Amino acid sequence: MEVRVEAGDISKADADIIVVNLFEGITSPGGATGAVDAALGGAISQLIALGDIRGKAGEFTMLHTFGRIPSPRVLVAGLGKPADFDIDAVRNLAANMVRFLRKPGISRAATIVHGAGIAGLDAAACAQAVAEGAVLGSYRFVRHKSKNNGANDDRHDVALLTVVERDTARVPLVADAVGRGAALAGATNFARDLANEPSNHLTPALLAERACDMAASAGVAIEVMEREEMERKGMGSLLSVAKGSAQPPKLLCLSYKGRGGEGYDLAIVGKGITFDTGGISIKPAANMEAMKADMTGAASVVAAMQAIAALKPKADIAAIAPCTENMPGGNASKPGDVVTAMNGTTIEILNTDAEGRLVLADALCFAIERGARRVVDVATLTGAATTSFGDVCYGIMTNNDALATQVEAAAAAAGEKTWRLPMFKEYDEYVTSDVADIKNTASKGAGTIMGAKFLERFVGATPWVHLDIANVDMMDKDKGWVTKGASGYSVRTLINLALAMENA
């Protein structure tokens, strides 16, 4: 979908449909809605009086205009109660709107900047949220649907959304914000495409190829590290996961230098298990297909670089993704095996299904070797995250309050809810092993914290935040900006954080 900005009066816009809005409880609309109502001879007010339009959040009412204005249709979007209305509501409204318009014949929609009128929210923030929500909400994964998929195929999406701004002086600001929103959402949709991809279409090598293609068009530097180099660097932890698979592992390292200094202000590190069978500690068959998305962390950090390169913060950012399958096989790691990570730490592998922390261990060491002054990792690390949080928020764990606070602000701005889990030193003994320095699982509960306590051993004193997104990576239905399947969680948080590094 393309999003454009135009100066003018929405009631005169040339489109297949124009979108205005209404707060709950308003009986005589003002602003743009009032102007359209007047042009339609009071049709909207009459429907409000009839009770057919109530302005409830999530309500969409379509009217036909029969030649009274250039657009043949008007959509009135309910905003809900003014007290509940915020930027998140604007983003979700735009997403719900493009899905509502998903029908044949509506390919060019025009909308006002919802929220910037009587709601009084910041105009740039609203314009960004409209573009972001529209691009996020229109996403669906149809790559493997054949063209002859039957008569009920309704794969027609809005192709062009024009944001119409009445105040000409405000148009440049709105255009800038719309561009930002489209960049954030476009990167998120790229991450969704990678995460939704079945594992036979997205091996580590194919993921590396997709990352290289993106990097080439975005103008980001990328290196793909092969097994031999991992061996030379002593990445025994990452290699212990890879050795069970016929597919060679790849370690992706993308680099954006907006400041041009030494090292990196921030390294974002993402778990890239292109399929997690559990290995010798094999998972049950039910729902195992969901493990094609166990590379969501890698997808997030790679995709975030696309928007970072487009938005050009004056900061140096690296994205690192250790990518491999986790398979059982004649050469796979076995429970009880001891391996050595790049920083010399020895690890007892008690459960081969706790593989995410094993691949991240070496990736975190590598990030620090590359000169990262802050590290944020993102991973579908533990099923326990679902036990703690359902699918409402994700867990963040840290060794540094200041960086965690920045991550929380970046997530809040993206409309993602986070919750901090404790890293009390009393949890340290959960990872101590009888035969090696540390072990990769314990049976003492607190599974999500245990994962973070393991990772903490590989970052030293470097400020670090761990995002466990295992409970939000895949969703079972469309809801506001979140789409069914790969949700896109964490991508815009990482981009917002990278943008904030400009002042760090």
How many C-beta atoms surround the C-beta of residue 122 within 10 A?
14
* Beta strands at 337-340 and 346-349: parallel, antiparallel or unpaired: antiparallel
Q: Which residues contact 68 (CB under 8 A, 6 or more apart)?
A: 39, 40, 41
> How many angstroms separate the CA atoms of 124 and 128, rounded?
6
Closest contact distance (angstroms) between CB of 318 and Mn ion is 25
| Residues 163 to 222 in contact with ligand BES, rule: CB under 6 A | none
List residues binding Mn ion (CB under 5 A).
276, 353, 355
Asked if 380 touches ligand BES (CB under 6 A), the answer is yes
Q: Per the structure block, which two tokens stand in for 500? A: 């904030």
Select from Zn ion, ligand BES, Mn ion, none the partner in contact with residue 377, using the beta carbon and a kind-dependent cut-off of 5 to 8 Å. Answer: none
For Mn ion, which is the closer residue by CB, 132 or 294? Answer: 294
Does residue 250 carry a catalytic annotation? no
Figure out which of the listed residues 117, 236, 322, 447 binds ligand BES, where binding follows CB under 6 A: 447
How many C-beta atoms surround the C-beta of residue 113 within 10 A?
29
Q: Which residue has the tokens 């250039």?
A: 70
Closest contact distance (angstroms) between CB of 383 and Mn ion is 9
Asked if 470 touches ligand BES (CB under 6 A), the answer is yes
Does residue 283 carry a catalytic annotation? yes
Closest CA to 474 of 291, 305, 314, 234: 291
Q: What is the dihedral of CA 302, 482, 129, 210, to 10 degrees?
A: 20
Closest contact distance (angstroms) between CB of 276 and ligand BES is 5
For Mn ion, which is the closer residue by CB, 165 or 355? Answer: 355
Lay out the site mask for ligand BES across 403-442 (x = CB under 6 A, - = otherwise). Answer: --------------------------------------x-
Figure out which of the listed residues 276, 316, 456, 473 binds Zn ion, where binding follows CB under 5 A: 276
The secondary structure of residue 249, as a DSSP letter, is P
Figure out which of the listed residues 356, 395, 415, 488 binds Zn ion, where binding follows CB under 5 A: 356
* Beta strands at 375-379 and 464-468: parallel, antiparallel or unpaired: parallel
Options 357, 374, 457, 492, the catalytic residue: 357
User: Are the C-beta atoms of 9 and 35 separated by less than 8 Å?
Assistant: yes
How many helices (H) and strands (E) in the chain?
A: 14, 20
Figure out which of the listed residues 113, 342, 384, 452 binds ligand BES, where binding follows CB under 6 A: 384
Provide the annotated active-site residues.
Answer: 283, 357
Binding site for Zn ion (CB under 5 A): 273, 276, 294, 356
Binding site for ligand BES (CB under 6 A): 276, 290, 294, 351, 353-356, 380, 382-384, 441, 447, 470
